[in-house]
Amino acid sequence: MIKLANPDITSKEIAAVVKVLKSGTLSLGPELEAFEKDFARYVGRKYALAVSSGTAGLHMAANALGIGPGDEVITSPYSFIASVNCILYQRAKPVLADIDPTTFNLDPQQAAAKVNSRTKALLAVDIFGLPADYKKLNALCRKHNLELIEDSCEALGARHHGRMAGSFGKISVFGFYPNKQITTGEGGMVLCDDPRIHRQMAALRNQGRSSMGGWLAHHILGYNYRMSDISAALGRVQLARLPAMLERRRRVAQNYKKLFARHLPEFTVLQDVPGVERSWFVFAVLAPPNLKGKKRDHLIKGLQRSGIQCAHYFPALHLQPALRSLGYKKGDFPVAEDVASRSLALPFHHKLTGADQIRIVETIRRII
């Protein structure tokens, strides 16, 4: 079986985790603090808070910015569902705007058309490791006095005209699920430059407890969104190894692109954008229009039967059963729907060999 994802874990990560286990300090300890400092330095932000997941981080961001009932937040219909759920957790209204057909990121022009007096924030997603158009999105936020939340959960190590992904929003969020550029098993990181927001999110993460208060003094309604020192130790070693891991992922992606150009030119691979450096999260392709929907699903099943893991990445959010209450319908976001009906993610990880990639491409050719 060729796996869809496979975390890159070495003896260094194992030794770091064992060291924490032997220390007796498994939570809110020195490894957590060190990981946060290392991560903030890497991205170029003043503050970082390690959390239990990227979803938890997005929820904390929405909460800390005061998003609540009656507010609207503009975001993308083509993303993981957490990008919308974090808004719903605050009882605010997600307002979706269609995506750019080349980058698959939120289209700034479509987003601008959704702004009204109730709009409180814009949540931009760096889909498939490609930073959104932050020049235009920041201008839109400044024009209408909107908060910008940067969902960089898929984009660690990416750059937008020289600036690191995660350095644009009022608050930015990363995720460390096992298929991400680095992993902590489960986990995430929330970053900002405002000390007040940092204190607020630190309390939200730890059941509403302030660092200035007593041991069990709870000042606000909070959550258990902490990351353990075990996970932090794993993440800290992973972060130190990130440049080499990103380069390996880039080489795997480039080989895929060559193989598709040579053998499957009718498929669309993820496009480069001038001045923007993608951090390869997954290798997703678009099947040609004659293989959309059920025919694309047939291809996925055929690959799986052949011992090749692959997945539909991503379904359109507004058509998800859990989000029907938002009132959207098929046809509301034609670009996102077209991309969702043709996209599939192929195996992508450090252990993937050139022979594996040839087998994957040849299997696709045989099935179609």
Per-residue model confidence as pLDDT tens for the chain (368 residues): 999 999 999 999 999 999 999 999 999 999 999 999 999 999 999 999 999 999 999 999 999 999 999 999 999 999 999 999 999 999 999 999 999 999 999 999 999 999 999 999 999 999 999 999 999 999 999 999 999 999 999 999 999 999 999 999 999 999 999 999 999 999 999 999 999 999 999 999 999 987 766 678 888 999 999 999 999 999 999 999 999 999 999 999 999 999 999 999 999 999 999 999 999 999 999 999 999 999 999 999 999 999 999 999 999 999 999 999 999 999 999 999 999 999 999 999 999 999 999 999 999 999 99
pTM strictly above 0.85: yes
Instruction: Tell me the pLDDT tens digit for each residue of 168-219.
Output: 999 999 999 999 999 999 999 999 999 999 999 999 999 998 776 667 888 8
**Do 202 and 213 meet the contact criterion of CB atoms below 8 Å apart?**
no
Other C-beta atoms lying within 10 Å of the C-beta of residue 139? 13
Digit-coded pLDDT (tens) for 118-150: 999 999 999 999 999 999 999 999 999 999 999
**Token pair of 212 as six digits:** 């200035």
